[in-house]
């Protein structure tokens, strides 16, 4: 297996991307990963390589604008940033990496973005996997964010973020907490976009997710316009691909094989 780094050129700034591929021909459409609110390519750790090995597919992860090694994003995060990722940035990544058909896999807020990407891409999107995706802002989401805001006040927490985001760390933190806790974002949901998702959908969720109850995958599965499967993992929190990596890899690879048939 080898990994290649790429720079995606966008009018609003460069995006950093990394692609993993096994030696020989890839099996099936590539999987594009969309990271969470504090994430980046590096914070996926070894999961992309393991996903590539488990599925035989090429795997691509990129840093959204303002995150990781990508360029700085000017100003506050707009309230429509989840839908905007699907229409403003994701198509550019596909185009410059030469991706025609794909599977999209999003973690946390990246799951919401993945829903929008699947809905906007039509038949080009062969399958959608959401992991710990929020479908709306529930009380449990808000309480989890408030608890995180207290924990993050410790200086070492911001220093840890700076290891991955550099001098953008404070912006990354504010883009997460200030956006999700703002009054203007309280009514956000995926309700209107989910019926436009026609491809097979797998919703993975931890039963003990501190940012969202099982109501989220249930709503995603119920409103999706195509076939949907919900995988609720017991004794699992917000990051199943780290807490239960083997189970996530096995579930995703088996489900993708079934979806191909």
Q: What's the pLDDT tens digit per position in 208-253?
A: 999 999 999 999 999 999 999 999 999 999 999 999 999 999 999 9
Alpha helices in the chain (DSSP H): 47-55, 81-84, 90-96, 109-121, 139-151, 155-165, 169-180, 215-223, 240-243, 245-260
* Run of H or E residues at 187: none
- Which pLDDT value is given to residue 134? 98
What is the topology classification, in CATH, of domain 2-260?
Answer: Rossmann fold (3.40.50)
| Half-sphere exposure in the Cβ direction for 61 (13 Å, CA) | 25
Question: What is the residue-averaged pLDDT of the chain?
Answer: 96
Taking each continuous run of H as one helix and of E as one strand, the counts in the chain are 10, 8
Q: How confident is the model at residue 27 (pLDDT cuts 50, 70, 90)?
A: confident
Q: For residue 157, is pLDDT > 90? A: no
Q: For residue 151, is pLDDT > 90? A: no
Do β-strands 31-34 and 59-62 pair in parallel, antiparallel, or remain unpaired? parallel
- Which pLDDT value is given to residue 153? 80
pLDDT tens digits, 163-200:
999 999 999 999 999 999 999 999 999 999 999 999 99
| pTM given for the model | 0.97
What is the residue extent of each domain of the chain? 2-260
Q: For residue 261, is pLDDT > 70? A: no
Q: For residue 116, is pLDDT > 80? A: yes
CA–CA separation, 240 vs 237, rounded Å? 7
Q: For residue 45, is pLDDT > 90? A: yes
């Amino acid at each position: 297996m080898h990994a290649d780094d790429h720079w995606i050129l966008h009018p609003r700034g460069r995006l950093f991307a990394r692609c993993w591929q096994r030696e020989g021909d890839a099996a099936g459409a590539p999987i594009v990963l969309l990271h969470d609110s504090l994430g980046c390519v590096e914070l996926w750790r070894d999961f992309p390589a393991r996903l590539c090995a488990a599925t035989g597919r090429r795997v691509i992860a990129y840093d959204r604008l303002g995150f990781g090694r990508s360029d700085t994003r000017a100003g506050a995060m707009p309230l429509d940033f989840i839908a905007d990722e699907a229409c403003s940035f994701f198509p550019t990544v596909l185009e410059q990496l030469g991706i025609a058909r794909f599977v999209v896999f999003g973690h946390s807020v990246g799951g919401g973005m993945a829903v929008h990407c699947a809905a906007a891409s039509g038949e080009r999107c062969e399958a959608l996997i959401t992991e710990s995706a929020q479908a709306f802002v529930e009380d449990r989401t808000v309480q989890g964010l408030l608890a995180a805001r207290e924990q993050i006040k410790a200086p070492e927490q911001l220093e840890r973020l700076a290891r991955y985001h550099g001098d953008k760390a404070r912006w990354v933190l504010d883009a997460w907490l200030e956006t999700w806790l703002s009054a203007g974002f309280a009514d956000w949901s995926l309700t209107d976009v989910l019926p436009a998702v026609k491809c097979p959908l797998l919703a993975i969720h931890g039963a003990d997710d501190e940012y969202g109850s099982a109501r989220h995958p249930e709503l995603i599965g119920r409103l999706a316009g195509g076939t949907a499967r919900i995988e609720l993992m017991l004794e699992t929190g917000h990051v199943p691909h780290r807490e239960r990596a083997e189970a996530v890899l096995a579930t995703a690879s088996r489900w993708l094989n079934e979806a191909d048939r």
